[in-house]
Amino acid sequence: MSFCLSFPVTGNPKEVLEMIERPLLEPSGHEVRVRMRYAPVNPADLNFIEGNYGRPSNPPSIPGHEGCGEVEAVGPLVSSLIKGDVVMPLLGGGCWSQHLIAAEHHFAKLPYSIDPVQASMLRINPVTAWHILNKHVELEPGDWVAQNAANSGVGRALIQIAKKQGLRTINFVRRTELIPEMLELGADAVFLDNDQGVAEAQTLLAQAPVKLAANAVGGDSAIHLMELLSQEGLMVTYGAMSRRSLKVPNKHLIFKNLRLHGLWITKWFEKASSAELYEVLEPLAKMITHHELVTAVDAIIPMKDHRQAMARAQEGGRQGKVILDLA
């Protein structure tokens, strides 16, 4: 038998989530069975359980957008994976389960030496950050990239990946106490997300171009990024933490000819080819293995204590991700 976390109706994750038992099935054909080890609790997971995500929950449903595990059994036609391989599910759901069975192409093989906790957080935030930096604007070493919510999961990943690629980052945060932490992580410059912070960033840039900005907040914070962007610069919006609509001053469209793109990495995964997946996952997995890309962890909590995990994930002031131990 195998256990998973499921919710029969949408609602508060602390209240509707339950641990249920399922039969342990054998893989057939091109299927593999993966013994899941760890899975993070992301805001997207909470929204999915609440029924507020970008795709319907259709309960009863098993949440969990990402995780990491090991191949436990393979079907007779499987050619790309063997028992013992460390893998990351590409399914985009159902990861809060002790076992997953799916076709082999729904799993990405990772290095044996990779930290499984860090690997469990690879699929969403690091891939989003990598995509923003590599798939929208042609950047050269030394170029500046601006972002808000720099202390978020994507923000931290973007700082580390940009540093690895020789790019420089201007980062906005909401609290002064976050500035030293972001600098230690590798940020080139960190400012408060207000008008004074924008003015200080402009002084630092001294007319140096900013071709790309990453927006996770919306509202006035997005306007701050537009103030920094150069002529025909691009702002990629991947989140809306302020829950305020994106407002674009006319002057930035008319006189700067700014471009605005949206990014939902889930949709990219649905369309990405094997070559495209390898292009992004291979360098990120190497960075994790070499401790060049580290995602902060607040707590690792056993799956049976899921109510505690959901409560902690919904609290402010955390020091990183809440991780479910699926053992």
Torsion, Cα of 170, 171, 175, 177 (10° steps): -70
Q: Are 246 and 222 in contact (CB under 8 A)?
A: yes
Q: Are 163 and 194 in contact (CB under 8 A)?
A: no
- Which H or E element spans position 71? strand 68-74
Residue ranges of alpha helices (H) inside the chain are 13-16, 43-50, 116-119, 125-134, 153-164, 179-185, 195-205, 219-228, 250-254, 265-271, 274-289, 306-313
Of 196, 197, 205, the residue nearest 173 (C-alpha): 197
Catalytic annotation present for 238: no
Q: Are 291 and 165 in contact (CB under 8 A)?
A: no
- Tell how strand 107-110 and strand 86-89 pair up: antiparallel
State both tokens at 237: 């919006």
Separation CA 240–CA 237 (nearest Å) = 8
- Which one from 53, 112, 238, 278 is the annotated catalytic residue? 53
Count of CA atoms in the C-beta half-sphere (13 A) of 246: 17
Q: Are 85 and 71 in contact (CB under 8 A)?
A: yes
The residue to which tokens 């690091």 are assigned: 126
Supply the residues annotated as catalytic. Answer: 53
